[in-house]
Every structure is written in C-alpha cells, then in structure tokens.
Amino acid sequence: MKFSQIEIRDLLFAGLIISLAFGILLAGGLKGLTSGGLFLTIFVIAFLTAGIGFLLHELMHKYVAQKYGLMAEFRAFYPMLGLALLFSFFGFIIAAPGAVFIYGMVNKERNGKISVAGPWTNIVLALIFLAFALVLPNATGALNYLLTYGLYINAFLALFNMIPAMPFDGAKVLAWNKVVYGVTVAVALGLVILSYIV
C-alpha cells in the first residue's frame, strides 16, 4: 500500500480525534475529562475500539482499490471531526471523519466490492471482540469495557455505513449486489443486538 505524507497526517489526525471524541462520550462528556487517570484508560479503550475500527475500515477501502490498480487516498473532513469532538461533550457523536477518494475507471462491481470491504472489516473486528467476550465471560473493569465496546462500536460502524444512501458504503453495495447488501446488514444488525446481550 502506498501513502502520501498528507494522507498519513490525515489518517493519524482523524484516528486521534475520533478516539478522543468516543473517549469523551464514554467518560460522560466534559465531566469525564476531570477524572484524570481514569480518562486516560477510557481514551485507550476508545482508541482500541473506535479508533482502530475506523482506521482499519478506511485502510481496507484503500487496499481493495489499490489491488484493482486504482489510485486511492484518504482525506480527513476537518469540520466534521470538529463537530464530532464538540457533540461528544453533549452525549452523542455524528461521525463523518473522512473518506477514501478513488481515482480511475471503476465499474459497479468493483465499486461495490471496495465499499463492502470497510463494513466487513468492522464485522470481523466485532466478531473478534465477541469471541474474546465469550471466552472471558467473567472479565471485569477495563477489560470488560474493552470487549463490550469493541463489539458494539464495530458492529454499529458496520451497520451505520450500510445505510442505502449516498455517500454511505451501503448505497454502492446495494447498487452492485442486493444479496451481499442484505447479508452484510443482517450480520451487522445481529452483532449490534448481540452486543446488548453479551
């Protein structure tokens, strides 16, 4: 995979801000920032769940696009990152941190496969967190939060990105293959539901 300096900067900055926003959200907003060492733990959990989930999602779009010989570069949406950080203080997040821009001849099938790669990356991550949660049913403290949020956040990211409207991945997947779209949504939704049970 080839990266430009601007792309590396945007990926790192977007990953950091998304992790910080989710950390603030999980900590209970502004009040959580005053909790010192506890917030640091929450931030690490947010990075290992939301931050890594976001970064791998975008990198998988890029990887598949480049495998097709296309140019693909991530660009951060700085105003949206600012809004995500701002809203996290009030108990919710609107996350549109950026996107992988693809250049070259892309047909409907390739576009669908590039698009579905992101949500399936989050589904795989959610399954990994689920597997650890089942193996470690008595996990407590930070480990319990890591497994619980890792499952929920990645399942939710997969489902959210499958919204069947532009510019979401779901619109491009649906235009390519309705069966793949349906299976992806069903699996992501099932994992979201499971995250409330496990």
Catalytic residue at 109?
no
Cα–Cα dist 31/44, whole Å: 18
CB 94 within 8 A of CB 80: yes
- Which residue among the candidates 7, 58, 73, 109 is catalytic per the annotation? 58
Sign of CA dihedral 195, 41, 90, 119: negative
Q: Is 48 left (phi over 0), alpha (psi -120 to 50) or beta?
A: alpha
Backbone phi and psi for residue 113, each to the nearest 5 degrees, phi listed first: -70, -40
- Residues belonging to the active site: 58
